[in-house]
């Protein structure tokens, strides 16, 4: 099952996974082969999923080898479409020298936990947004940030995420800290730190009402909604919920049953 689903997260693994499956099938005992054949599957995307595009296996191998051998990486940040910005572009960032420590997969996305040698800070970076250039310069392993590496990754709002491609994309200002929203925001969304108690969340969905519904799950005050279509969707939902609460009778046992 893992071999059948791997091509959806790592680009270019389809043929390799198919060959591995064929090799396994040839050497398996007959009873186990029958069980495996009964688990042939086709993976379909549900609209509640927020998947990332498959990652380049070459970049993943380069990063993974640097983590294993503790070799410094020189990385450039790519655009969301995978292209490399040129000097003078608004989104151009100079190459960074980092110490790669750990790879993490979360919400179908590959992240690298690394120590940035320029600003002497721990960073979380999307592997598919990096153009890695391995070196042979070794580094000494550092103590990872915090006691819980998973929480560090999930609560980092500046991971290099970009809005996923959806029919509708909107944003809102939330009265919540960025690290809290980053922990619970769906994959393919972007959290911008505003101050200690506020952030901006940009995300996409299949409809404006879908975005408004996701924003409502944070149970926090919202303001500065963009674009106007998102504001209108919020108003429609508010009217519908108001009608439900006015017509509902929570004290009526017959209704509850």
pLDDT exceeds cutoff 90 at 251: no
Query: By C-alpha distance, which of 26, 70, 56 is closest to 128?
Result: 56
Q: Rounded CA gap, 177 and 180, in Å?
A: 6
| Domain coordinates in residue numbering, the chain | 2-37, 55-150, 168-247
Residue 67 pLDDT grade (very low, low, confident, very high; cuts 50, 70, 90): very high
Q: Rounded CA gap, 13 and 192, in Å?
A: 34
Per-residue burial over 219-255, b = 16 or more CB atoms within 10 Å of its CB, e = otherwise: ebebeebeeebbeebbeeeeeeeeeeeeeeeeeeeee
Query: By C-alpha distance, which of 160, 148, 56, 155 is closest to 116?
Result: 160
Which pLDDT tens digit goes with each residue over 6-34?
666 676 667 778 888 888 888 888 888 87
pLDDT exceeds cutoff 80 at 146: no
The topology under which CATH files domain 168-247 is Alpha-Beta Plaits (3.30.70)
pLDDT exceeds cutoff 60 at 257: no
Query: By C-alpha distance, which of 94, 99, 125, 122 is closest to 112?
Result: 125
- DSSP annotation of 210: H
């Amino acid at each position: 099952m893992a071999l059948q689903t791997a091509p959806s997260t790592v680009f270019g693994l389809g043929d390799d996974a198919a060959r591995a499956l064929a090799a396994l099938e040839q050497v398996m005992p007959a009873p186990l082969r029958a069980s495996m054949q009964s688990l042939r599957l086709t993976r379909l995307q549900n609209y509640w999923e927020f998947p990332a595009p498959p990652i380049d296996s070459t970049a993943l191998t380069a990063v993974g080898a640097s983590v294993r051998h503790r070799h410094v990486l020189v990385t450039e940040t790519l655009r969301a479409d995978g292209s490399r910005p040129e000097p003078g572009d608004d989104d151009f960032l100079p190459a960074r020298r980092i110490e790669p420590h750990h790879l993490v997969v979360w919400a179908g996305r590959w992240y690298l936990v690394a120590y940035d040698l320029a600003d002497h800070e721990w960073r979380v970076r999307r592997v598919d947004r990096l153009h890695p250039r391995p070196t042979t310069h070794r580094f000494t392993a550092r103590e990872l940030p915090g006691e819980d590496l998973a929480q560090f990754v999930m609560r980092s709002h500046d991971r290099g995420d970009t809005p996923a491609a959806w029919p509708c994309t909107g944003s809102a200002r939330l009265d919540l800290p960025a690290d809290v929203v980053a922990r619970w925001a769906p994959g393919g969304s972007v959290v911008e730190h505003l101050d200690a108690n506020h952030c901006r969340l940009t995300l996409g969905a299949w409809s404006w009402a879908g975005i408004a519904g996701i924003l409502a799950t944070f149970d926090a005050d919202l303001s500065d909604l963009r674009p106007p279509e998102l504001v209108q969707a919020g108003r429609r939902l508010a009217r519908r919920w108001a009608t439900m609460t006015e017509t509902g009778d929570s004290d009526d046992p017959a209704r509850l049953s």
